[in-house]
């Protein structure tokens, strides 16, 4: 089989680049294969996770099928005439590197432990997702099955990574009734519950392959702030718009969760969020605002609640929440006083305890430890409480 025939096989099988940069693999090779050989620059081939992949669930492809990943790199390197082949593994995966090093060396592949692929250093080079090279190996072994990888994350726990065929509905992957779901994050993008009816096809943006399910207890603005902060931590700082843009976005969104938001923030969030994908070099900046823009378009009412009504519907943002001790339920046991890290609960045995809300950080430890359910959290009106130490059972609201 000639190189031209091999590239034609890749095209006819419909093998695609997986991860953030979804598209035809054969088409992505055209710049490297066109033109006179004398005019071509030396090509380097890199296989890695996307820079924005903090979950690293797709690393399971390397763990479970290392030979496929390496074989696929070798095939791509041969077809592109690569002078060097480099496999990037996360910085912490030193043991995995040691396990694969001999096999990689036999193929002329160098392994690097680094969480970040500097696209400036590899400008004009072929950079593929590790799942793409595994698919390429399957293609030439006659076992290629079109589809994507996905793992479902519920209640903070990520499930098993599975290969999902095209045509599968999101609801079939998640396995949860729509009424229990508030939002769904697929890769870096956020959808409302209607996403359950979407079908996964070859153009669907799966990103890192993680499908995160949110129920009614989640505040989407607080979730956006956490993801912006995570993107900032991963960034290298060299792209000005990524560095400054993500900083501005996180600052605005954090203000909103702290009850300091302003209506004029919203157009700025839209403007910066929409510009980031076109103003940065790698997937960290290009996808860093995806979740945020999803909240702006699909959960606009939550911004209105936080900014205008000063309320968090999920009662997550502590700026809009008050923690108090119900005088009718408190037994004066002292458990809440013992766990309070700020020492802001006053009381003694047999007396109704009181929280000093000026010092309270609303960490919630007192709520967790109270067996009587006397320590409560509310985003609404607080009932009348004692203003001095009062014996349990003796407090009268009027």
Write out the two tokens for 98.
Answer: 């040691």
Assess if CATH 3.30.70.270 describes domain 321-391: no
Looking at domain 220-307, its CATH class is mainly alpha
pLDDT at residue 1, as a whole number = 79
pLDDT at residue 35, as a whole number = 64
**Bridge-based pairing state of the strands 183-186 and 210-214:** antiparallel
Buried b (16+ CB within 10 A) or exposed e, 61-77: bbeebbebbbbbbbbbb
pLDDT at residue 169, as a whole number = 96
Interatomic CA distance for residues 197 and 169, integer angstroms: 6
Residues 6+ apart with CB under 8 A from 109: 70, 73, 74, 77, 85, 86, 87
Decide: helix, strand or coil at residue 107: coil
- What one-character DSSP code corresponds to residue 124? T
Q: How many CB atoms lie within 10 A of CB 163?
A: 13
Interatomic CA distance for residues 60 and 249, integer angstroms: 32
Beta bridge partners of 163: 149
Contact by Cβ (8 Å): 117, 138: no
pLDDT at residue 398, as a whole number = 62
Sign of the four-CA dihedral 311, 312, 317, 323: positive
Contact by Cβ (8 Å): 87, 109: yes
pLDDT at residue 98, as a whole number = 98
Residues 6+ apart with CB under 8 A from 365: 339, 340, 341
| CA 282 to centroid of chain Cα atoms | 16
Tokens 């943002």, located at residue? 317
3-state helix, strand, coil in the chain (%, to 5): 40, 20, 40
Q: What is the pTM of this model?
A: 0.88
CA separation, residue 309 to residues 223, 257, 260 (Å): 19, 12, 12
Instruction: Please report, for the chain, the start and end positions of each structural domain, with discontinuous segments joined by +.
Output: 3-141, 147-214, 220-307, 321-391
pLDDT at residue 38, as a whole number = 45
Write out the two tokens for 89.
Answer: 């593994």
Give the domain 147-214 fold.
Answer: Ubiquitin-like (UB roll) (3.10.20)
Decide: helix, strand or coil at residue 348: coil
Interatomic CA distance for residues 239 and 51, integer angstroms: 14
Interatomic CA distance for residues 228 and 377, integer angstroms: 27
User: Which of 276, 317, 280 is CA-nearest to residue 293?
Assistant: 276
Assess if CATH 3.40.50.11540 describes domain 3-141: yes
Write out the two tokens for 390.
Answer: 């009062």
User: Which of 239, 317, 224 is CA-nearest to residue 273?
Assistant: 224
Alpha carbons within 13 A on the beta-carbon side of 90: 17
Render each residue's pLDDT in the chain as its tens digit; 398 residues.
788 899 999 999 999 999 999 999 999 999 888 765 545 667 899 999 999 999 999 999 999 999 999 999 999 999 999 999 999 999 999 999 999 999 999 999 999 999 999 999 998 899 999 999 999 999 999 999 999 999 999 989 999 999 999 999 999 999 866 568 999 999 999 999 999 999 999 999 999 999 999 999 999 999 999 999 999 999 999 999 999 999 999 999 999 999 999 999 999 999 999 999 999 999 999 999 999 999 999 999 999 999 999 999 998 998 999 999 999 999 999 999 999 999 999 999 999 999 998 899 888 999 999 999 999 988 888 999 999 999 999 998 76
């Amino acid at each position: 089989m000639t190189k031209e025939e091999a590239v034609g096989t890749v095209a006819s099988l419909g093998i695609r680049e997986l991860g953030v940069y979804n598209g035809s693999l054969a088409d992505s090779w055209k710049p490297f294969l066109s033109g006179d050989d004398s005019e071509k620059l030396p090509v380097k081939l890199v296989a890695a996770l996307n820079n924005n992949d903090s979950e690293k669930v797709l690393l399971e492809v390397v763990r479970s099928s290392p030979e496929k990943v390496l074989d696929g790199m070798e095939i791509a390197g041969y077809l592109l005439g690569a002078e060097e082949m480099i496999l990037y593994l996360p910085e912490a995966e030193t043991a995995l590197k040691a396990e694969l090093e001999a096999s990689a060396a036999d193929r002329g592949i160098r392994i690097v432990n680094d969480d970040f692929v500097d696209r400036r250093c590899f400008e004009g080079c072929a950079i593929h997702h590790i799942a793409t090279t595994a698919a390429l190996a399957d293609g030439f072994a006659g076992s290629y099955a079109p589809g994507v990888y996905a793992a479902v994350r519920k209640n903070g726990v990520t499930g098993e990574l599975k290969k999902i065929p095209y045509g599968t509905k999101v609801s079939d992957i998640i396995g949860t009734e729509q009424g229990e779901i508030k939002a769904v994050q697929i890769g870096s993008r956020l959808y409302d519950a209607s996403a359950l009816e979407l079908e996964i096809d070859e153009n669907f943006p799966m990103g890192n392959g993680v499908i995160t399910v949110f129920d009614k207890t989640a505040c989407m603005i607080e979730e956006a702030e956490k993801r912006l902060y995570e993107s900032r931590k991963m960034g290298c700082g060299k792209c000005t718009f990524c560095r400054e843009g993500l900083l501005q976005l996180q600052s605005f969104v954090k203000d909103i969760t702290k009850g300091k938001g302003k209506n004029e923030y919203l157009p700025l969030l839209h403007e910066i969020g929409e510009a980031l994908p076109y103003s940065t070099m790698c997937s960290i900046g290009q996808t860093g605002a995806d979740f945020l823009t999803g909240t702006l378009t699909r959960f606009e009412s939550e911004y209105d609640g936080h900014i205008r009504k000063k309320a968090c519907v999920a009662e997550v943002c502590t700026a809009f929440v008050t923690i108090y001790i119900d005088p009718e339920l408190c037994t004066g046991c002292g458990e809440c006083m013992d766990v309070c890290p700020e020492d802001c609960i006053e009381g003694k045995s047999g007396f109704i305890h009181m929280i000093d809300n000026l010092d309270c950080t609303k960490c919630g430890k007192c709520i967790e430890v109270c067996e009587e359910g006397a320590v409560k959290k509310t985003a609404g009106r607080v009932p009348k409480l004692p203003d001095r130490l009062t014996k349990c059972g003796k407090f009268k609201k009027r």
